Amino acid sequence: MSPRPRRANRLPSLPSLLARKLYKTGQTRGADDDVIYQNRVGRNSTVLIPYAFWDVCTAGHGGAAFERGFIALLSPSEYFGTAGITDDLAARGLAIGRNALVFYERRPDWVAHHPDTLGWTAATSRTDPLGGQYVARIPATTATTEGENIIRGFNATAMKGAGIRAYEYAGARTIKDCRDQLEALFWLCGDAEDVAASNGMSAEGVRARKEAILVSCDERGLLDKAKLIAARILNAQGRTICPFCLEELSSTSFFNRLKQAEGRLVPDLTVTEVNMFHIEELRITALNHQPYNLGWGHHHCNVVVKDSGIQKTLEWIREVLRRNVEAGHLPAENRVS
């Protein structure tokens, strides 16, 4: 049997670790079974929208922009404590059991408005109809004799989690654009070609893939140097930098495991020195998983910035440094003897 012909447009494969890192940029963060969210799924999955944020999350599109739909989540106090709630929901195109659910998180709400006494059933579907009126994730407590954890709805093996966090959403096209732009940023590291070759790619494969990705991104408007510099993703020389500390990145950091503290070693550590970095932090009032808002940054810089955002973190650090200088714990400037 003759070998199957190779597809003309098939690019040489990336090193497996880098390929996995890029693939994961299109996935949501992890989630345990005792929370309502799905674990490590595509960013274009069903979106869970807290009812209190419905208007800001769906401004201009009413939820229609979400490729795999949405579920609005109401707290028991919102649903049972709001006069005319059914009409309010209908005005937004929502209805309990169709595209909205009551979400129990507190034991007092469970006791006061027990779904069994209401004749309600736990939801079983992420699409209309949802198969029930509520979902529950109530942690265990030792304060009462009936303090076991309560997990109802979306807890079957084939249906774990109701959906994803609203601020993690991105459409399929956006996911693709972000992945390709992030790969281009890898190739814009000064040592990328040598490092890719040392991790299993042929010299010919390196050149072919790098050129194809850079050309494709340029043609799709994903390599605007001025925008990338303004977003702290590239430096003035066109090299990839950490958006927080602004240090130029070596592509070896994409492959090197994070250094561990002596005596606190973990044998199965998979975290690398460089990870995806959101320039404007993820927040529920905006969909920030977008091109020109994603770069590569040091793991430790990412941890420091966390959900506060780069600018607020820098302002905090400036105050920390000021107080340490004033207290005499840090020289006002470094002097070379």
**Residue 332 falls inside a structural domain:** no
Unique residue bearing structure tokens 């003035």 = 236
Q: Which structure tokens are listed for 116?
A: 């069994």
261 vs 284, more confident? 284
Bridge partners of residue 164, in order along the sequence: 47
Do 139 and 188 reside in the same domain of the chain?
A: no
**Residue 103 falls inside a structural domain:** yes
pLDDT in tens, 94-110: 999 999 999 999 999 99
CA separation for the pair 159, 143 (Å, rounded): 31
**Residue 329 falls inside a structural domain:** no
Q: Which structure tokens are listed for 300?
A: 């430790």
Question: What does the chain come to in residues?
Answer: 337
Q: Is the dihedral of CA 97, 101, 102, 106 positive or negative?
A: positive
pLDDT of the residue at 221: 98
Which residues form the domain of 50? 46-162
Beta-strand (E) ranges in 75-120? 100-104
pTM of structure: 0.91
pLDDT in tens, 118-176: 999 999 999 999 999 999 999 998 765 678 999 999 999 889 999 999 999 999 999 99
Bridge partners of residue 48, in order along the sequence: 71, 165
CA separation for the pair 323, 320 (Å, rounded): 5
pLDDT of the residue at 260: 47
pLDDT in tens, 262-315: 454 445 445 789 999 999 999 999 999 999 999 999 999 999 998 899 999 999
Do 145 and 56 reside in the same domain of the chain?
A: yes
Domain count, the chain: 2
pLDDT of the residue at 290: 98
**Residue 281 falls inside a structural domain:** yes
**Residue 27 falls inside a structural domain:** no
CA separation for the pair 294, 65 (Å, rounded): 21
Do 239 and 126 reside in the same domain of the chain?
A: no
**Residue 264 falls inside a structural domain:** yes
Q: How far is CA 230 from CA 10, 225, 236, 251, in A?
A: 33, 9, 10, 22
Do 193 and 69 reside in the same domain of the chain?
A: no
Do 154 and 222 reside in the same domain of the chain?
A: no
Cβ proximity of 82 and 111 under 8 Å: no
| DSSP symbol at 9 | T
**Residue 326 falls inside a structural domain:** no
Q: Residue 258 — very low, low, confident or very high, per pLDDT cuts 50/70/90?
A: low
Q: Does the pLDDT at position 7 exceed 50?
A: no
Q: Does the pLDDT at position 111 exceed 50?
A: yes
Residues 6+ apart with CB under 8 A from 293: 231, 278, 279, 280
Do 83 and 145 reside in the same domain of the chain?
A: yes
Q: Does the pLDDT at position 233 exceed 50?
A: yes
CA separation for the pair 285, 301 (Å, rounded): 24
Do 185 and 66 reside in the same domain of the chain?
A: no
Do 267 and 301 reside in the same domain of the chain?
A: yes
**Residue 25 falls inside a structural domain:** no
68 vs 307, more confident? 68
Q: How far is CA 273 from CA 250, 259, 276, 307, in A?
A: 10, 8, 11, 19
Do 150 and 177 reside in the same domain of the chain?
A: no
| Torsion, CA 252, CA 257, CA 260, CA 262, rounded to 10 | -80
Mean pLDDT for the chain overall: 92
